[in-house]
Chains A and B, each alone.
Chain A
Amino acid sequence: MELLSVVGRRCTVLWTEQVLTELNDWGSSKEPKAAMVSLLTKSVPEYGPPLGTKACTSLGDGIFEFRKGEKIGPKVRVLWFYGDTAETRVVCARAFVKTFRKTPPEEIAATRAERRNYMTAMQTETLRIEDGSDLLRKKGQK
């Protein structure tokens, strides 16, 4: 399993390829996707997930949701779970543009599958993490 990491003072955010691909497909959801990238690269690494606010809710069973988008217009969701017991690793498993009122069950199922893959990769030491934190600093200084 391959993940990209952004390391902050409070926690490390790990991104699956699906999340990177989905967020890179800007389409008509540029605003909420840019806000989501901001949350995942700035706020969460520095201060942890903003649990209890509109931007972050629990879906139960250890699966959480980051939410971005205004009341009217496109909404972007990222489903995630903690990758360690100390809750210092946030693994962003799935990203999607929300089109229905409820979070699609197949996305929750896919997140659970990613969690199983992640745990297996941890146990078998086959987890490969590429650090992207330096890219963030370079871009921030342009």
Chain B
Amino acid sequence: MSLREKFARLLDVAQDSVAYWRDIAITDFTRDLHARIQHKGLSHADLAIRLGTSRPYVTRLLSGGNYTLETMVKLAMALDGVIRVHLADRDAVTTHWRDVFVNPSQLSALGRMDSEALRRSSLETINTEPLKAQLSSLVTTALYGDQRGATEKLTSIGALDRPLQELRDTPKSREALAV
């Protein structure tokens, strides 16, 4: 049996299992937690105080597990966030702002773009289409675009801060983000 045949058989059984799809939700949520904690510069002890619980319990929670919806909401509240649950296609991929603008390889590619051009194209195009589609397009450009000169332009990334802030502050962007 070839490797592909073995893989096809493996997927057949795995994707009929609840565990396969549940794991995606758990991993997504755990990643979100870690990213938010890091973004807020909180320690496990800080989070324990916010939750009114012990530090070892927080450490256990953060290492992943079978969360109840109530625990998820409590964690989100402690991190000044909110839980939103949605249904997606099986092959859907979530794109976060942090993935788009924080990932160094993507930033390096975005850094190749002239900041004024980015600001113009972002404000003109993102306002007219669902934000997600436009972000996908930016990511695609960043990931699969021409990589020549990317390193040299890394230093110009700081120039993107203002246009990105402007982009977030436009009424339609806010509206799209709220959807």
**Please, what's the 1-or-0 string for A17-54, where 1 marks a CB less than 8 Å from any CB in chain B?**
10011011010001111110111011100110010111
Residues of A within 8 A of B65 (CB): 54
**Stretch in B20-28, B48-56, B158-166, B171-179 touching the partner:** B20-28
Residues of A within 8 A of B40 (CB): none
CA distance A9 to B91 in the complex (A): 13
Most chain A CB neighbours (cut-off 10 Å) among B15, B21, B65? B15
* B117 interface residue per 8 A CB criterion: no
* B134 interface residue per 8 A CB criterion: no
* A140 interface residue per 8 A CB criterion: yes
* A135 interface residue per 8 A CB criterion: yes
- Contact of A41 with B11 in the complex, beta carbons under 8 Å: yes
CA distance A55 to B24 in the complex (A): 12
**Stretch in B1-9, B68-76, B79-87, B120-128 touching the partner:** B1-9
CA distance A135 to B21 in the complex (A): 17
- Contact of B6 with A21 in the complex, beta carbons under 8 Å: yes
- Contact of A4 with B19 in the complex, beta carbons under 8 Å: no
* B58 interface residue per 8 A CB criterion: no
CA distance A20 to B21 in the complex (A): 19
CA distance A43 to B27 in the complex (A): 7
Of the candidates B15, B30, B89, B99, which one forms a contact with A50 in the assembled complex, judged by CB atoms under 8 Å apart?
A: B30
CA distance A5 to B24 in the complex (A): 19
- Contact of A30 with B30 in the complex, beta carbons under 8 Å: no
Residues of A within 8 A of B15 (CB): 139-140, 142
CA distance A20 to B8 in the complex (A): 10
CA distance A65 to B36 in the complex (A): 25
Residues of B within 8 A of A130 (CB): 2-4
- Contact of B14 with A38 in the complex, beta carbons under 8 Å: yes
**B122 CB to nearest chain A CB (Å):** 21
- Contact of B11 with A37 in the complex, beta carbons under 8 Å: yes
Given contacts A53-B64, A55-B27, whether A30 and B19 have CB atoms under 8 Å apart is yes
Chain A, residue nearest B106 (CB): A9
Residues of B within 8 A of A99 (CB): none
Residues of A within 8 A of B143 (CB): 9
Q: What 8 pairs between A and B have smallest CB-CB spacing?
A: A54-B63, A34-B17, A38-B23, A37-B14, A140-B91, A140-B90, A34-B19, A4-B3
Residues in A lying within 8 Å of B, measured CB to CB? 2-4, 9, 15, 17, 20-21, 23-24, 26, 30-35, 37-39, 41-43, 46-47, 50, 52-55, 68, 70, 130, 132, 135-137, 139-142
Q: Mind listing 14 A-B residue pairs with CB under 8 Å?
A: A3-B3, A9-B143, A15-B3, A17-B6, A34-B20, A34-B23, A38-B19, A43-B23, A47-B31, A47-B99, A50-B30, A54-B64, A135-B11, A140-B91
- Apart from A34-B13, A34-B14, A42-B23, what 11 extra A-B contacts exist at CB < 8 Å? A9-B143, A20-B3, A35-B23, A47-B27, A47-B31, A54-B64, A55-B27, A135-B4, A139-B8, A141-B89, A141-B90
